[in-house]
Chain A
Amino acid sequence: MSLNGQQIKQIIFKIAQMIDENKMYLTELDAAIGDGDHGINMSKGFQAVIDKIKDDNGDNIGDMLKKVSMALIANVGGASGPLYGTAFMKAGMWVGNRREISIEDYYNMLLEALNGIKARGRASIGEKTMVDSLEPAINELKVSIDNKFNELECLEKMVNSAKLGMENTKNIVATKGRASYLGERSIGHLDPGAVSCYLILKTIFEEVKKIKG
């Protein structure tokens, strides 16, 4: 799909806008099983991201993603800051000084991000976390790339898979994070991290579609 740094920067801005629009929704989801600040904190973090990269010319994608990471780590707080921060850090480290990324690069960046999140949170699939939307999405992306679907189809399938994974968190008993103290009582609620993760992937797809369509 070959996205350059400027295009990636625009996508990140869109993500920030989307998170802000969903601030209350994410916070309400979090209030049900967590401490009720996910949307507020994420929005604060992504506003800091905008400040941090607004003057970045996008020539060095890795550096720009590292800036995103640091802004999230320092401004989101809670567990989401370190987790999303780690995700962007790992993606940035993988991409290095490439000036554009292909769909295969994007897959590798996501995979690095996923592994970073799993290590940082000591989490695996089925624990009612963001891993439950991210991991199936990445697996689906890989299969689609291997099957030589066109890039937009690959991304669309990825998002659909993330959505299913996100919806399935309703049926899972939380064993990680604050929701785990609820045990069985966490059933019936979506995991706010899985939702924000799905929304981010969806925004990426929609923006790439606009750029390429």
Chain B
Amino acid sequence: MKKVINNPNYVVEEMINGLIKAYPEYLKRVDNYNVIVRKSAPNKKVALVSGGGSGHEPAHAGYVGYGMLDAAVLGEVFTSPTPDQIYEAIKAVDAGDGVLLIIKNYTGDVMNFEITKEMAEMEGIKVESVIVNDDVAVENSLYTAGRRGIAGTVFVHKIAGAMAEEGASLEEVKRVAQKVINNVRSMGMALTPCTVPAAGKPNFTLQEDEMEIGMGIHGEPGTHREKIKPADEIVEHMLNKIFDDMPLSENDDVAVMVNGLSGTPLMELYIVNNKVNDVLKSKGVNVYRTYVGEYMTSLEMAGFSISILKLDEELKRLLDAKANTVAFKVL
């Protein structure tokens, strides 16, 4: 696998430095840690911290800034950050009003963030957490580690971030973050694998004419493999999985995110969105906002995910509130 890197061991380090050099007006690094924080944040505000393995750029550092996150913790590629790193992020952004941790539901992430939460509480920092689990491709938690957190996480960052920016309490910010989690569902698919730099070889194989439906953002197994089909049929299947889990009624308002995993061109994402929009319209569902682009990628994997967020008045207001980050702007 060809990659534009120097040394597999330094990809995260060099990426962080390059990112900061690109956006010094938005971001700064906590010295000696893989933690990126807002260049300037108000003194009084609930702080939002998220993070996870690297390889999903622009997640999560791209969402650090006004109206979204206060800090992102960057683990090794596809590996949870460790508690010492997460703890530094919490300390760097806690303004005394408490910290909300936004965690994607993976075994390693949950454990590392929970250990850190206990460490911070022992130091008297008020910390709450939410766990995002929007991936409907996974059976429920009775049989598995539970649904994975994927692109729907960006909606949590956006809406909880807006709430925090309004000056809401930690309890309120957590409540609205959980409301987003309860109302967002996603499903992904992949056409090609990706290669973790340190591993040097692809994490799975797919035949030239094959796709995997329901694949996770680290190449975790999906629901099944089949021959590639026209985009409209793929979209219909994925939306049906989402609707089975979260029925939508006529006149419901939703936000849609068509997220590219990074190896699929924007042209194809728009083709996907064309069908997503048509299907929703045919059900009488109002598409309130649509986001098409690369929000949570998986190295060079080709494929995409669809996320549907059911909205009420509060969520609409917070979705539309001002945000100014590297990868997500509402101006």
Residues in chain A within 8 A of chain B (CB atoms): 35-37, 41, 73-79, 81-83, 85-86, 120-121, 175-178, 180-183, 185
Contact = CB atoms under 8 A, between A and B. Distances in A.
Contact of A35 (B83, B138, B218): B218
Given A74-B83, A185-B221, A79 B107 contact: yes
A41 to B, nearest CB: 8
Contact of B108 (A36, A78, A182): A78
A180 B145 contact: yes
Given A37-B79, A73-B82, A82 B112 contact: yes
B111 A120 contact: yes
Given A85-B115, A181-B138, A73 B83 contact: yes
B1 interface: no
A42 B141 CA distance: 27
B216 interface: yes
Contacts of B76: 77
Contacts of A35: 78, 203, 218
Contacts of A37: 79
Interface in B194-216: 199, 203, 216
Contact of B143 (A83, A85, A86, A183): A183
A26 to B, nearest CB: 15
Contact of A183 (B83, B107, B139): B139
Interface of B: 75-76, 78-84, 106-108, 111-112, 114-115, 138-139, 142-145, 148, 199, 203, 216, 218, 220-221
A177 B111 contact: no
A185 B145 CA distance: 15
22 contacts: A35-B203, A35-B218, A36-B199, A74-B82, A76-B82, A77-B79, A77-B82, A77-B108, A78-B79, A79-B80, A81-B82, A82-B114, A82-B115, A83-B111, A85-B115, A86-B115, A175-B144, A175-B145, A176-B145, A177-B145, A181-B216, A181-B220
Contacts of B218: 35
Contacts of B82: 73-77, 81
A181 B111 contact: no
B14 to A, nearest CB: 19
A21 B143 CA distance: 34
A177 B115 contact: no
Contact of B145 (A75, A85, A178): A178
Contacts of A73: 82-84, 115
- Which residue, B76, B107, B112, B216, has most C-beta atoms of chain A within 10 A? B107
A83 B80 CA distance: 13
B112 A177 contact: no
A176 B105 CA distance: 12
Contacts of B78: 35
Contact of A181 (B80, B115, B145, B199): B145
A180 B80 contact: no
A182 to B, nearest CB: 6
Nearest to B146: A180
A37 to B, nearest CB: 7
A79 B111 contact: yes
A78 B115 contact: no
B115 to A, nearest CB: 5
Contacts of B142: 175
Contacts of B138: 181
- Which residue, B81, B83, B142, has most C-beta atoms of chain A within 10 A? B83
Contacts of A83: 111
Contacts of A85: 115
B80 A178 contact: no
A180 B142 CA distance: 10
B112 A178 contact: no
Contacts of B79: 37, 41, 77-78
Nearest to B135: A181
B55 to A, nearest CB: 12
A183 B220 CA distance: 12
A81 B112 contact: yes
A82 B144 contact: no
B111 A182 contact: no
A77 B112 CA distance: 8
